[in-house]
Amino acid sequence: MKSETGQKTAADLNDRDEPIYQALLTAIVEHQLPPGSKLPEEALSEVFGVSRTGIRKVLQRLAAVQMITLSPRRGAQVATPGVDEARDIFATRSLLECANLPAVLAHVQPPHLAALSTLIEEEQQAHGQHDGAAAIRLSAAFHIQLQAISGNQVLTDMVTRLTQRSSLVIAAYGAPWQRGCRCDHHDRLVDLLRQKDLPALTAALQHHFEHIVASLHFERSGETLPDFTRLFSGHNGAAS
């Protein structure tokens, strides 16, 4: 799509690199590209079959949402949140998600509860199968869908971004098999949501975040260069 002046719009340019952006974002969030991973333009350009200019635009978008870092000397790397930042991410999530619970309770309906229960079942299956990527994805989806019940799209978008950054924290500081959240915590949250017990629901969600932070080991990951060909086969030629 072009503007009235005949120039390509920002939306048009973003549409062309969106598949690459989503592929890289998903790989980061699902811990296929751990914190500290190098993201060289030349290697990514080759595996995606696009120009380095196209890759550079994608990397700039990822840096804008704080999923990677860009520096003249070190190039692009998957972000490694510092300890203070890691704690702040979960503290912010606790503040936002707990503050929105009255609105969630005001709008919750049986189909919402059924959808959340389905996510928990799928998350439990992912843990049982040691499918880390699915466990992370489903854990984030639970929190996003819980907040989305309120109908506050702005807050839901903020929670979505924060869940992505939370995944970086867990990748950097979590135990070898710490993927997403505790399923039994999610079960408890749904039970309290069904009972419409706001004080208990708020306390349980606060405890949930406190438990996650307490389980983290604040040791930094090292730098790595992943196998981009294996990760992104099938994405060749998505943008230019």
pLDDT of residue 3 exceeding 50:
no
Give the Cα-Cα-Cα angle 85, 31, 187 (nearest 5 degrees): 80
Residues 126-145 pLDDT 10s: 988 888 888 889 999 999 99
Per-residue pLDDT averaged across 187-208, rounded? 97
Which long-range CB contacts under 8 A does 109-112 form with residues at least 24 apart?
Answer: 112/145, 112/149
Contact yes or no for 147/93 (Cβ under 8 A): no
pLDDT cut 70: percent of the chain above it: 82
- Whole-angstrom Cα distance, residue 224 to residue 191? 42
Q: What is the 8-class DSSP label of residue 206?
A: H
Per-residue pLDDT averaged across 102-125, rounded? 97
Q: What is the 8-class DSSP label of residue 39?
A: -
Q: pLDDT value at position 2?
A: 44
Q: pLDDT value at position 18?
A: 93
Half-sphere exposure of 54 (CA within 13 A, CB side): 23
pLDDT of residue 182 exceeding 90:
no
Q: pLDDT value at position 94?
A: 97
pTM of the predicted protein model: 0.81
Give the Cα-Cα-Cα angle 204, 218, 221 (nearest 5 degrees): 125
- Element at 68 (helix H, strand E): strand 68-71
For residue 132, the tally of other CB atoms under 10 A from its CB is 19
Question: What's the token pair of residue 225?
Answer: 């260069």
Interior/surface letters 147-185, b for 16+ CB within 10 angstroms, e for the rest: bbbbebeebbebbeebbbbbbbbbbbbbeeebbbbbbeb
pLDDT of residue 76 exceeding 90:
yes
- Whole-angstrom Cα distance, residue 123 to residue 183? 7
Per-residue pLDDT averaged across 20-46, rounded? 94
Longest dimension (CA), the chain: 57
